[in-house]
Structure 1
Amino acid sequence: MKMKGADIITDYLVKENVPYAVGVCGHGIVGLLDSLHERSDKIKTISVRHEQAAGYIADAYYRVKHEPIVTFTSCGPGSTNMVTPLAGAYMDSSAFLSISGNVPTCQFNRGPFQETGRYFQGDFPSVIRSYVKKSFQPTRVEMVPLAVRQAFKEMTNGKPGPVNLDVPFNVFQEEGEAICGEPQDYRWNMDQRPQGNPETIRKAVEMLAAAERPLIVAGYGAILSEAGKEMVNFASYMKIPVHTSPMGKGIIDETHPLCLGPTGRNGAYAANEAGKSCDVLLALGTSFDDRSTSAWLDGYTYSMNTTKVIHVDIDPREIGRNYPFALGIIGDVKLVLQQLLQLAKEQFADKKPDYSAWHKRIEEWKSIWYEYKEPLLNSNAQPIRPERVIGDIRKVLPKNGIFLTDVGVHHNWVVQFWDTYEAQTILQAWGFAAMGFATCGVIGAKLAAPERTAVALCGDGSFMMTPHILATAVEYNIPAVWVIFNNFAYGSIRDLQLGYFGGRELATSFIKEETGELYNPDFVALAKAFGVKGTRIEKPEDLADAVEYGIKLNQPYVVEVIVDRDIKPIGTGTWVLPPFKHPEPNFKPGR
């Protein structure tokens, strides 16, 4: 049976139950668009106003649902606009299929309109080499079935990540033999969850039993494994406290008695104190990156000179990447936790280890942090304190509502002050940290879970990177709420400048050059121009009601909040940018 290359691709997307294709048109991708038109009863095509938006939408969709969708871009600038969201998804282990159009193969090396590569023909795959798990470039129709089939397997096998399918213009249109096969024959029937070595599992249980101050750290790998239930069951049975990496927020209800909150410079006080005091650390799906560990400096988040690490990860490259380990377990976190619990129940049926002295110390740290946080979450200060913004959104967002935070200084307060109750309900751009992720990603969250509320907290800087997403929300009637944290600055970089360069700043505050007046566009008027309702909030007592109104409106809605720009995030840990000396934590108990 002969089929066009574009039809081979879209037919396989239908077989994989892909519900959405998101992107921007261009001459290089029109062949695929025509095929999607023919299958519009199976796949909904969403047109956005910038390719970055498509990537962020697809990224957020996967983080909520753990199922990939596809993006489409044209050759040249259309596809290079996709580089940043691909990098963000790759660094945070999120998956989507990026289909990029390219110039016709017969024009390779002739420098046709929008060909990428002067010395290498049609070379968009090299542009994104560092930011995808793999890039496929079928140059004949007969190569398409294998490429698209392997692309889906690559995306979700092991550690998830984005994959690129780069298709020359003529390959979309030409016909060839199409034997694509069925997903169940090549992907669905494969068990991708390896267990840990039983002997190593036994050693891990013995180490935890012998410990005086055991601790669990759960990272984003535990969320990707959907291991929340298993982790809570094991931690509860053994009575081992849990802290998380910032990306691990939600794997355990942060109001759970065993949860200490997230780690790092802007982590919770109890989380960092426990981390540097524990003697055995069970690490579940975490990479121990610099921001979650106080830049690997001993004695701030961890004291690895005196702590024994049991590191569990599905990717062996992560084990021992940043810290030495006593035991390394290559396996799926969910299954490894099942093994640990089963063995613990067998060994400690009569008497479990006693960690009561350790729990007493932890409760003291938690109490100190709670007494610090609560007044700030309810502060009536004006301009509005950043902590009040976080607290009021949390009050009105349902427990299973999806909260996205964009990149900026506000993200620091989110890590510290936002209580997450369920996994996959907080979405953050962490590793690559590109502004615009939440601004656009909130649309992807609503597509993945249309029955749930979705709110994006965006800095004024990050929102202005991709404000055109409001047009997409109106076009497709996607109800989402954007809360714009207006402090008239790229605030986190402004704070770095002030701290490292003697109080000087340049190009970080939004100021009219002639008058020195703080400046931002009228965000409510901007939203209105897109056809979106909105309100500006300056008094703390009006904030929660405004966000709640936007949620109940069930339409796109913008809430602009004027925030005190002079308040700096508190540091319970540290971070370092060599050669500068790291700052000492400025959180002091009782102050």
Structure 2
Amino acid sequence: MLDTSQTSEEEDNNIRGRAKALSLDSVEDALLNEQTGGVLTLSLSEALIIGLLKQGVRRYFAIFGHGSTDLADVLRIYHEVGVVEVINCRNEVEMAHAATAYAWVYGETPAVVTSIGPGGLQAMAGSLAAASNGVGVYHIYGDETTHGEGYNMQQVPKPEQGLFGKITALMGQSYTLHSPGSIRECLRRGTACVHHPYKAGPFYVMLPIDTQPQRTQINVATLPSRASIPKLAPADPTALSEALEFVRTYKKIMIKAGGGTRAHHEAVRALADTIGAPVVLSPGSTGVMADADTLNMHVGGSKGSISGNYAMEHADAVIVIGSRAVCQADCSGIGYPNAQAVMNINGDMDDLTHYANTVCLPGDISAVISVLLRALDENPGAELRQEWIKACAQKKQEWVAFKETRNFASPIQDQVWNKPVLTQPAAIHAVSSFANQVGAIKFFDAGDVQANGFQIVEDDIPGQTFTESGASFMGFAGSALLSGAYVDNPKYGIAFTGDGSFMMNPQILIDAVEHNVRGMIALFDNRRMAAITGLQHAQYGEEFKTNDSVSVDYVAMAGSVSGVKAIHGGFSRDELDAALASAFAHEGLSLLHIPVYSGLDPMAGMGAYGSWNVGKWVNDVQEQYLNATI
């Protein structure tokens, strides 16, 4: 017979006593004392919670199941005392996105809790967004038992040990707590991954069902704290000499600011100003340069812009900073046809050496730039590039004028809506401008909304926009709103999403209300996957199976959830502006349904200016890559 007795009152009181002490003090001050010497005997579940607490992990996004009942019970007590916050969710992909956004926006480390099986696979799928954007998050999955007594429910039905640990290890770094005594090593590896200074990512903890309640001993003093690595810069004078010669030689240098520059925008701006080099952004680095800065060429890459791609195509040398050279950033490797050399500033060795003919400056971006600027002193070579800057500035004005025509385009007759509706660029610009006006942060979903969005946004600092361009994960934006739950002084978030992306993860309608989130979903509805429709037309002249004929009343759908304010966004700029004000005034979650045009009218999009190694273009792109100079 199963033992149905509940946890002993004595053990419950012991856990609660430790939790109360931890609510008042740090882990060391609360639990280190002369009587125990800092060595505690407790369950593996509680040891993991305390260990993560020492690294600053206080927030758990959770979907509890049979694989995590013991961990859940300890979290219950710690949550009741107020040491941690546990946010129950309704979809594992959603909560993985919420955790990623929480770490990304607020700079705090959360944990995701679920079990192996469908839940673990979904959470792991969602973690691709964290992995692709360099965001550290702990993922804790209740794993199969260790005694091999027979198949566990939801484990991979194959006679092999530790399969979920192997699966997660393919995505990133993973550790199975098969032995409770290995908790220290697990947490050491965890913080090295989650808090990596240059390439953080998700760390997966496999927590077997039967080891969770097992008693183990921990030494509080030696539990790993949050990893803190000193900032590094090159000490080799040869590399610095090569960098100085590089800057003082080439007349058409441009800077490519990748996603890694978000936390180093002041250093990037100082370098650009000092050496006189235009800066081309990536989809994830808007705001690194102020929008109106004459050196800001805006986004460049496969989608790109008139000015950004002009600078890439005509540069004779490139300073690549914090970029992993994804296709949207460098046109699948052929974005710099005239570049003869590269200077690469990056902490990651693989990304640092991606291009040929490269001067490598490894380390912390701000630290490296600081060393470089001191060495340049009064001879930064800026006079070499005056004509180059003028040519780039002219292209920037051309792009600004082009954007103006798209951002304020008149409504166009649409065959789905049977009336004139806003174009997607015009609608996105209206919502983006409103967000900047009220100080809201913008979350962008994958697809056409995202592709037009990073060409349209007018950010002046990093952190105004979070666009999940790393994994291009449909459903991220709405889910990301949950990141603001129970945060002191939360940032108002607006999720920019298409109808297709929204339906990937509509659970936010319920979870936002449950957890008192205030934010807005701007749903741009063209009843199709417009980004792929456009790609099909561009490559083959025909669309295929990227639209649907089903009419959905999203206002009625969202309005059926108590606490959600659902509003129709109207068919004109004035109507949309009024709807935005009404939605923002709501104290909870609002959803704004915005019908947008989809068709072949060129006003419907911002255009594409680069190359991409997909479909019928692959032979041409790969031939150019073979002959590339860098």
Tell me, in whole angstroms, the C-alpha distance in 2 between the residues paired with 1:194 and 1:170: 46
Instruction: After TM superposition, give the deviation of residue 194 of structure 1 in Å.
Output: 4.5
Moved more, 10-19 or 555-564: 10-19
Distance in 2 (CA, whole Å) between partners of 1:344 and 1:67 is: 37
Per-residue deviation, 1:331: 1.2
Q: 1:114 aligns with which of 145, 154, 157?
A: 154
Residues 353 and 209 (structure 1 numbering): CA distance in 2 closer, same or farther, change over 3 Å?
Answer: farther
Deviation at 1:568, TM superposition (A): 4.5
Deviations 1:465-520 (A, max 9, x none): 110111110001010110001000122222233344442422x2121xxxxxxx24
Residues in 1 aligned to 2:146 and 2:471: alpha-carbon distance in whole angstroms:
33
- 2: CA distance, partners of 1:26 / 1:393: 39
CA distance in 2, matches of 1:440, 1:582: 38
| Structure 2 partner of 1:391 | 429
Q: What are the residue-to-residue correspondences of 1:180-329 with 2, within 5 Å? A: 180-181=220-221, 186-191=225-230, 193-195=232-234, 197-223=236-262, 226-297=263-334, 301-304=335-338, 306-321=339-354, 323-329=355-361
Alpha-carbon distance between aligned partners in 1 of 2:529 and 2:132, rounded to the nearest angstrom:
23
In 2, Cα distance between the equivalents of 1:27 and 1:341?
Answer: 57
Instruction: Determine helix, strand or coil for the equivalent of 2:593.
Output: strand
Partner of 2:190: 151
Equivalent residues of 1:216, 1:283 under 8 A apart = yes
Pairing partner for 1:124 from 160, 164, 173: 164
Give the equivalent residue in structure 2 for 1:32: 71
Residues in 1 aligned to 2:106 and 2:233: alpha-carbon distance in whole angstroms? 22
1:137, 1:453 → 2: CA distance?
38
User: Greater share of helix residues, 1 or 2?
Assistant: 2
Contact 1:116/1:122, CA 8 A, preserved across alignment? no
1:582 Cα deviation after fit = 8.0
Distance 1:144 1:433, change over 3 A: same
2:453 maps to 414
Structure 1 gaps, min length 5 = 512-518, 585-591
1:259: Cα distance to partner? 0.6
- Give the length in aligned residue pairs: 564
Query: Which of the numbers 536, 547, 550 marks the counterpart of 2:583?
Result: 550
With over 3 angstroms needed to count, the CA separation of the structure-2 counterparts of 1:448 and 1:469, relative to structure 1, is: same
Shift, 1:273, TM fit: 0.4
**CA deviations over 1:243-298 (Å, ceiling 9, x no partner):** 1121222222222221110111321211110111112211101122212222223x
Is the 1:538–1:562 contact (alpha carbons within 8 Å) kept by the matching residues of 2?
yes
Structure 2 residue aligned with 1:587:
none
For residue 379 of structure 1, what is the aligned residue in structure 2? 409
Q: For each residue in 1:87-130, what CA deviation from the matched residue of structure 2 results, as whole angstroms up to 9, or x when unmatched?
A: 22112212100000012212x36212222351312421122222
Output the CA distance in 2 between the equivalents of 1:530 and 1:582.
50
Distance between the aligned counterparts of 2:397 and 2:367, measured in 1? 34
| Amino acid corresponding to residue 527 of structure 1 in structure 2 | A
Q: Which amino acid letter does the alignment assign opposite residue 240 of structure 2?
A: I
Partner of residue 554, structure 2: 523
**Percent same amino acid at aligned positions?**
21
Residue 317 of structure 1: SS of its match in structure 2? helix
> CA offset at residue 187 of structure 1?
4.1
Q: Residues 130-169 of structure 1: matches in 2 within 5 Å?
A: 130-132=170-172, 134-157=173-196, 158-169=198-209
Partner amino acid, structure 2, of 1:417: I
Report which stretch shifted further, 373-382 or 556-565: 373-382
One-letter amino acid matched to 1:64: V
Q: Partner letter of residue 137 of structure 1?
A: T
- Whichever residue aligns with residue 337 of structure 2, its letter is S
Which of 404, 423, 438 is the aligned partner of 2:477?
438
Say whether the 8 Å CA contact 1:195–1:335 is kept in structure 2.
no
1:501-541 alpha-carbon deviations (Å, 9 max, x no partner): 442422x2121xxxxxxx24211111112221111123222
Indicate if the aligned counterparts of 1:145 and 1:180 stay in contact, CA closer than 8 A.
no
Aligned twin of 2:569: 537
Letter of the 1:366 counterpart: K
Q: Aligned to 1:371, what secondary structure does the other structure show? A: helix
Deviation digits for residues 336-395 of structure 1 (CA, Å, limit 9, x no counterpart): 1111222223545xx853422111111211111111111221223231011111211122
Residue equivalent to 1:2: 41
598, 603, 610: which is aligned to 1:565?
Answer: 598
Give the structure 2 partner of residue 334 of structure 1.
366
**Alpha-carbon distance in structure 1 between the residues aligned to 2:560 and 2:174:** 39
SS at match of 1:554: coil
Distance 2:492 2:332 in 1: 35
Counterpart secondary structure, 1:52 = helix
Q: 1:102 to 1:478 in 2, by over 3 A?
A: same
Q: Do structure 1's residue 425 and structure 2's residue 464 form an aligned pair?
A: yes
User: Per the alignment, do residues 409 and 109 of structure 1 end up closer, same or farther by CA in structure 2, a change over 3 Å counting?
Assistant: farther
Does the CA contact (< 8 Å) of 1:8 and 1:145 recur in 2? no
Structure 2 distance, partners of 1:174, 1:267, is: 55
Q: Is the partner of 1:191 in helix, strand or coil?
A: coil
The match for 1:68 is 109
Residues of 1 paired with 2:502 and 2:221: CA distance? 43
TM-score, reference length from structure 1: 0.90
Q: Provide the C-alpha distance between the structure 2 equivalents of 1:447 and 1:296, rounded to a whole number of angstroms.
A: 43
1:49 maps to amino acid: R
CA deviation digits over 1:411-431, x for unaligned, max 9? Answer: 111121111221122212223
SS at match of 1:172: coil
CA distance in 2, matches of 1:33, 1:435: 30
1:437 positional shift: 1.0
Gaps of 5+ in 2: 1-39, 412-419, 622-630
Query: d(CA) in 1 for partners of 2:252 and 2:228?
Result: 42
